[in-house]
Every structure is written in structure tokens, then in C-alpha cells.
Structure 1
């Protein structure tokens, strides 16, 4: 059904995906288990209400797609939903004028790692998004 993924490529993809998954689970878990801590360390000028219901909602909206990303059958759907979540984070930081490389682009860095890890470990995604040297239009 799908082509075999070279072992080294699969390991690299799993490591990259694992790092993203750990970060996202930590972020979602903190918002769900200890929303007061998430509120305490959130910048006050983000424009979001810094209260328990908002943190719980954001934690849930991150946890569900992260769990979908972990399961191979739904990994692409999870990646799409996480990308949307990260887009909201980028837009929030652009709106308030956060520093570019450390805050605004952090969501982009995570997104590149998220999709890069999935691309390395999933031959179906590589078939849909091929990177070829010397390809002509």
C-alpha cells in the first residue's frame, strides 16, 4: 500500500515529531492541569482573557489535534489542525508587536518541525509533496 520509509529517515522523522509532541503535550497539559500557572506566565498584553475557562479551552483545542497527530492514521489531520492553532499564535504575536525571531516565528518553527517530521516518516505525504532536485516547471 505504501512504500517503505528508509530506517534513518524514519528515525529522524520520529525524533523531530517526538520533540514537537512533547512540547505541545506540555503546553496543553499545563493549560488543562494548572491554568493558574499558565495565566501567571502569560504576557498580559496578548489580548486574550487570562482566565481559567480560556486556558482550559486553549488547552483542549491543542490537546485534541496533538493526540490526532500522534496516531498515524490521523496524523495529517492532526498536523493540519495544529497548523491552524499555531497560525493563531503567530497572528496574536504579530498583532501585539512581539519580537520576530523569538516570539512571532516560534509557531512557524514548530510548524516546520511538525510537518518535517511527518514528511520524513510518511511516504504518502512525501508522494503528495515531493522535493526533487533539478525539477523543471
Structure 2
């Protein structure tokens, strides 16, 4: 007999998930926007990280960030967006490891953001909770 999975999310969990996801979305949209301009702080940081001070690369990364963030913010494509953003944040972590950035403030920032990204999605999406159930 197949089991019925309840995909209903409680109101407090849904609100908490939306707030967490909202913080992630706002941060990543801001991050993408400053790469589109691109501000000097962006190109200087990219140069320090070994990517060169390329305006074209900064703009490309800005577009990727914004597109993936928009995918994450729209419910039907949120899991795809979360997967793409996880890869993007993993690349940021690897870049910081490569240049020896401070561990807790720079290198692990992508991990913190990724945990908020997936945590917010888990709390607001009953289908994801059904796919990844935690046992009590």
C-alpha cells in the first residue's frame, strides 16, 4: 500500500522560510547588480583572486547570479535555482580557499549563504520536505 505524504507546511515554518529565502535573494541580487555596473571594488577583488580585472567577466558573473537567483525566487523553479546557486557558491568557496582568505569571514561565507538558501527553501516548500524527510 503506498504511503501518503503530507506536503503541507505550517504557517510559522513557511514564514521563517520566506524570510530566510528573502535575505538570500536580496543579498544575491545586490551582489549581481554590483557586478553588472561593475564597481571598482568588484574588479579589484576579482583581480586579487586571480581572475583579472575584467569588466566583461564581472558582468557575466552578475548576469549568472541574477538569473540563478530569479530561478530560486520563483516557486516552480526554486529547486533548480538552489542547485545552480549551490554550484556558484561552491566556486566562490574554492576561490577563497585557493588564495588563502580568512576562513570564517570570507571562505565559509558561501557555506553560510548556502545553508540559509537550502534551509529557507526546505521550510517553505512542502515538496522538498517530502523528498528529504528528517526522521523524528
What is the TM-score normalised by the length of structure 1?
A: 0.90
Size of the aligned set, in residue pairs, is 132
Task: Provide the alpha-carbon RMSD of the alignment.
Answer: 1.6
Q: Which residue does the alignment assign to 1:67? A: 70
Stretches of 4+ moved more than 3 A in 1?
A: 34-37
Q: Which residue does the alignment assign to 1:46? A: 49
> Is the CA contact 1:32–1:60 (under 8 Å) kept in the aligned structure 2?
yes
Give the Å deviation of 1:131: 1.5
- Output one character per residue of 1:19-55: Cα deviation in whole Å (capped at 9) or x when no partner: 0000000000110133444224x26420112121010
> Is the CA contact 1:36–1:52 (under 8 Å) kept in the aligned structure 2?
no
Q: Which residue does the alignment assign to 2:37? A: 33
Q: Which residue does the alignment assign to 1:87? A: 90
Q: Which residue does the alignment assign to 2:129? A: 126
User: Once structures 1 and 2 are overlaid, which stretch shifts more, 59-68 or 8-17?
Assistant: 59-68
Secondary structure at 2:48's aligned position in 1?
Answer: coil
CA distance in 1, matches of 2:37, 2:6: 39
> Is the CA contact 2:17–2:122 (under 8 Å) kept in the aligned structure 1?
yes
What is the TM-score normalised by the length of structure 2?
A: 0.91
Return 5+ residue gaps in structure 2 as ranges: none
CA distance in 1, matches of 2:46, 2:59: 17
